[in-house]
A and B are shown apart, each in its own frame.
Chain A
């Protein structure tokens, strides 16, 4: 079974994200910007592990996902990374050089999601938004797909590799009580950077 997801449908949300309204939406925290950041961060992390991907719109029945929650000033959300067990096994073997087992595959998916959100956090910092990351958790299930009727799915990206599809999505909510306000822009260290003190 194949599901078609439409990132553009989420982008239509624009100012209203999820069940709550963002009082003072920042242009730099627009759905379009987040979508672009999610696309870029996911593709870049996969590329750094030797996995070349292309954008796609079709998602099959995904069976494993890693989810990391995050919070910030006026923000709360989660990043998810999902794929199928066979795809994950192939990508793991290609990147790690050994077949691994189910536990190793889950662990690696958690680490990948951590790297995607770490990179995304850096991009948010440059826009003045600081978030704190939780520990990633993985879940297995059947037919794991984004729920298009849930308007809190503000961005997702489907990437196709030769081994199969990888889906990344970003849930973000803000509250009236703590409307997201951008702080000063911060230049974070980026992937691969080394700082010697």
Chain B
């Protein structure tokens, strides 16, 4: 059985490394993008992604705009996206939800909480990727 593939989009290499380390130990296959633009390119070119973890404040294309662009494409409507950010402003959370994000985690995150959230939401993404 293939491991669910998780895309982490963050301009911080340290965060990408931490997420990769945590999720790899939990049995996920993790791929990385360093900003929203690169993340969008990967999402549109790879159909086997089960879930996206996405930062908000990033160069080139920020996370909220990226989610809005991705979710405007019906083929990505079911792809779970969870924002992983230092931001906790309610207006931003509402914007992400309106765009179609499935969750919001405020950094710094706890490893077990990240794994539980990804495990819970990745199932829907796996089913979409299998279609």
User: Which of A's residues lie within 8 Å of B, judged by CB?
Assistant: 45, 48-49, 92, 96-97, 103-104, 107-108, 110-111, 114-115, 117-119, 121-122, 125, 130, 133-135, 186-197
Contact = CB atoms under 8 A, between A and B. Distances in A.
Contact of A130 (B11, B21, B89): B89
B89 A135 contact: no
Interface residues of B, number: 34
Nearest to A110: B12
Contacts of B31: none
Contacts of B21: 97
Contacts of A121: 86-89
Interface of B: 11-15, 17-18, 21, 57-59, 85-90, 93, 96-97, 101-110, 113, 117, 120-121
Given A118-B85, A121-B87, A188-B90, A193 B14 contact: no
A44 to B, nearest CB: 9
Contacts, number: 100
Most B CB contacts (10 A, CB to CB) among A49, A97, A190, A191 go to A191
Contacts of A107: 12-14
A97 B74 CA distance: 41
Dominant SS at the B interface? mixed
A188 B88 contact: yes
A168 to B, nearest CB: 15
Given A191-B86, A191-B88, A195-B104, 20 more contacts: A92-B14, A96-B14, A107-B14, A108-B14, A114-B86, A115-B86, A119-B86, A188-B89, A189-B90, A189-B104, A192-B108, A192-B113, A193-B104, A193-B105, A194-B103, A194-B104, A194-B105, A194-B106, A194-B117, A196-B102
A188 B85 CA distance: 13
A193 B15 contact: no
